[in-house]
Amino acid sequence: MRARLITIFSLLLAPWEAEATAVRAPVAVIGSTGRLGRLAVQQLVERGYPVRILLRHDLAASPSSEADAEPAAVAAWLATMPGVLPVKGDVTNRESVDELLRGCSACLALHGARRSRKLSDLWSDPTTDPKHSKNVNYEGVRNLIEAAQASETCRRLVRITGKGETPWSIFSILINGLGSMAKAWNYEGEQLLRACKDIDYTIIRPGVMGRVDDVPADSLALADNGGDLKVSSIAHGAIASLCVECLDHPNAARTTLTAMSVPPGEGASSWEALLQKVKPDSRAFRADLLAEHLLAMRVGGTAIIAAMALFAAGVLNVLKMLVLALVGLVR
């Protein structure tokens, strides 16, 4: 009799429990048409979140979920998912960001600058280009912070960046030199988040994200406080899961997390187990790295160009000697 009463009570309570579970505040996603962003949107939908996606383009007539599909086609496919609302705009436009975050509880900022350095940058100011990394990775983050403050509902920003504390590494020099100072301005965007006291942030610095989406067992590694881990490849799907998972962990607020993969058996099987142990940032992050990034790019870039010129000269000299030798043989 007691078991029957419990069953009846559970059946009566189920609709209210389901409704309570289903009602979630929307989460905004920027960069939703990228490989990482689309997976994050899918996972949010699967968890019952309404999702708002910021789009710079109109929806294509033919939706597509293919990996190499055009952004407009991917956006159209995402818009077919339950609870996904497209918002027209750009992270560099404050008004559209205001509209995006209005009523949202959190935002996954998964966007990044794609601009390559141009020859005209030598005689004109490249930062006037809206696609420049300063405007996307730095001013765009400022727009997000101010829009979150104005919304009075969005209190969590999850930002994907990268390791920006090694300006003299060859990778930083190349990325800054070819990608309009993307490394440098990503780090400056991080600093804006750390300086903001009324909006919680989770900064995620992933390894080299690849197309492979399967995650080997016990291969996840996470370091808080911007800790240093050996750079490794990691699946887009794994980082998407981390972005979504950290929303359910209050202790992951105001943290800078480095996420990598390690050999199977040497890491964790889930982010949840790792996120339970993370603590807020406690160290002082350097505030003078922009100037050092600029210096490293100029000095390192000049050295790389000089090395390439010497290499090219050496190759030409070898070719010249070969040609002369062939001419001598012909004679």
Is residue 328 included in any domain, yes or no? no
- In whole angstroms, what is the distance from residue 64 CA to residue 217 CA? 30
Instruction: Give the contacts of 167 (CB within 8 A, at least 6 positions apart).
Output: 173, 176, 183, 184, 289, 292, 293, 295, 296, 297
Is residue 220 included in any domain, yes or no? yes
Query: What does 263-317 look like in DSSP terms, one character per residue?
Result: STTSSBS-HHHHHTT-----SPPPS-HHHHHHHHHHHHHHHHHHHHHHHHHHHHH
134: domain CATH number is 3.40.50.720
Average pLDDT over residues 103-129: 89
Is residue 160 included in any domain, yes or no? yes
Provide the number of structural domains found in the chain. 1
Is residue 286 included in any domain, yes or no? yes
Is residue 320 included in any domain, yes or no? no
pLDDT of residue 217: 80
Q: Which residue has the tokens 């509209």?
A: 99
pLDDT of residue 116: 83
3-class SS of residue 325: helix
Is residue 188 included in any domain, yes or no? yes
Q: Tens of pLDDT along 33-43?
A: 999 999 999 99
What are all long-range contacts of 171-179, with beta carbons under 8 Å and residues at least 24 apart? 172/293, 172/296, 173/296, 173/297, 173/300, 173/301, 173/304, 174/304, 176/293, 176/296, 176/297, 177/117, 177/297, 177/300, 177/301, 177/304, 178/116, 178/117, 179/113, 179/115, 179/116, 179/117, 179/133
Rg (CA), the chain: 24
Under the banding of pLDDT at 50, 70 and 90, the label for residue 178 is: confident
Under the banding of pLDDT at 50, 70 and 90, the label for residue 220 is: very high
Under the banding of pLDDT at 50, 70 and 90, the label for residue 2 is: very low
Is residue 212 included in any domain, yes or no? yes
Amino acid at 203: I
Whether residue 247 has pLDDT greater than 90? yes
Q: Tens of pLDDT along 252-282?
A: 999 999 999 999 999 999 999 999 999 999 9
Q: Which two tokens stand for residue 2?
A: 């007691």
Instruction: Decide: 241 and 274 in contact? Cβ < 8 Å.
Output: no
Ranking 13-17, 156-160, 210-214, 271-275 by mean pLDDT, the lowest is: 13-17
Give the domain extent around 116. Answer: 22-306
Average pLDDT over residues 13-32: 68
pTM of the model: 0.85
pLDDT of residue 301: 63
Is residue 170 included in any domain, yes or no? yes
